[in-house]
Amino acid sequence: MPPRDPAVWQRIRDAEARLQALQAELQQLYREAGEERPPLAGVTIVDLSWAVFGPLATQILSDMGAEVIKVERLAGDIARESQSFYATNRNKQSLAVDLQTPEGREIVLQLAERAHLFVQNFRPGVIERLGLDYDTVRQRNPRIVYCSLSGFGEDGPYRHRGGQDHIIQGMSGLMSIIGWPDGPPTSAGFYVCDVVGAHYAAIAMLLGLYVQQQRGIGQKIELSLLECAIAAQAFPVTWALNHPESPPQKAGSGHWTRRPLYGVYPTKDLPMTLVAVGNERWPRLTAVPGLEALAADPRFATPEGRQQHAAELDAALTALLKQRPRDEWMRLLHEARLLCGPVYTYAELFADPHVQHRGLVQELPDAEGKPMKLIASPIRLKQTPGRLRSAPPALGQHTDALLTRLGYTPAQIAQLRQQRVVL
């Protein structure tokens, strides 16, 4: 490596200082114009992804002000008729186009010329056949950050396999630690791998965008759903790799390293969660009115004894908890500075006064003007907040506006529509 040239590094610092000054001046001008721009205002994303993995990733960025152009086939995203579409496509514009036509491909390449990010989640090989692979797109826009998402990655024996959340939950090892010890393999109950993968993808795109804006270069980013799911299980996976003699196990409503006093317990009326592990919590737990009998049992006097007699301790605790209703136990446990909570249905969750106070549920009109309730972003930036601007778009809702921006005339748009290039 060549030695550091002090003169070059001083020029770098001077350039960074000028850039920061320009950015501060630009932000001040926006304030004077009465507009506080969200963090990603001015960023354009061409999004060819579908289902959940990709669309949720771009929605995370659209919530923060990015313009996301959702490029759909003429029949629409395969998830359009499901609730997952409405959960992952707000704040976006829809362009319905036939990518298998030269005209349709050219429209997308023109959009890519003006974009900062390009996202696709076709199986490896498909995007090349469509002529929208990274090498082709970067010829039109060398600064593009191109995010390629797939189930298993772009190389390896499984590269051509389709990767869906349920498949990945099973293959990643996740199902091996969910459920009861003697029960069959059980899934998480929602698209947990898609959700985790989407958040990794959003982080990756932000990193690519940062490098693009700081260094003026584009690059290709690749993520696989399987690898994201494995990485998300950092604790059990690391344990399994380093302790093969005692791998992670199913633990019902608890955790294989945390039994007893960690799980879901019944009460006189409703179940509740309780976390009372650790030596410092045991005296507080046994001082709770109604639970004092636990301290009198010699089997539970030491941490080793509690671990050795975990089943007996949980059974004794359960018998005591069944004597009072949940809310009374929660009041007493909170007073003892112990961790506990209700086990809610979704209806109960959204009726909770704290959840209502935080304002996570917001209502927007859909493309037909009907009210739609959506979950807002949990990311709360005080100076430059994101917001819900629009409900998920109707198929092709923004085709005319986007083509007009590219310079197409009304007659040309009408001809493309007649030729079934666009919808």
Q: Which residues are catalytic?
A: 194
- Cα separation of 362 and 375, whole Å? 6
Report the residue count for the chain.
Answer: 423
- Cis omega (within 30 of 0) for bond into 260: yes
- Reported as type and span, the H/E element at residue 149 is strand 145-150
Q: Would you state the structure tokens that stand for residue 182, as one six-digit string?
A: 């003697």
- Cα separation of 142 and 144, whole Å? 6
Kind of pairing between the strands at 44-47 and 117-120: parallel
Q: Would you state the structure tokens that stand for residue 287, as one six-digit string?
A: 């001082």
Answer for the pair 181, 251: CB distance below 8 angstroms, yes or no.
Answer: yes
DSSP annotation of 175 reads G
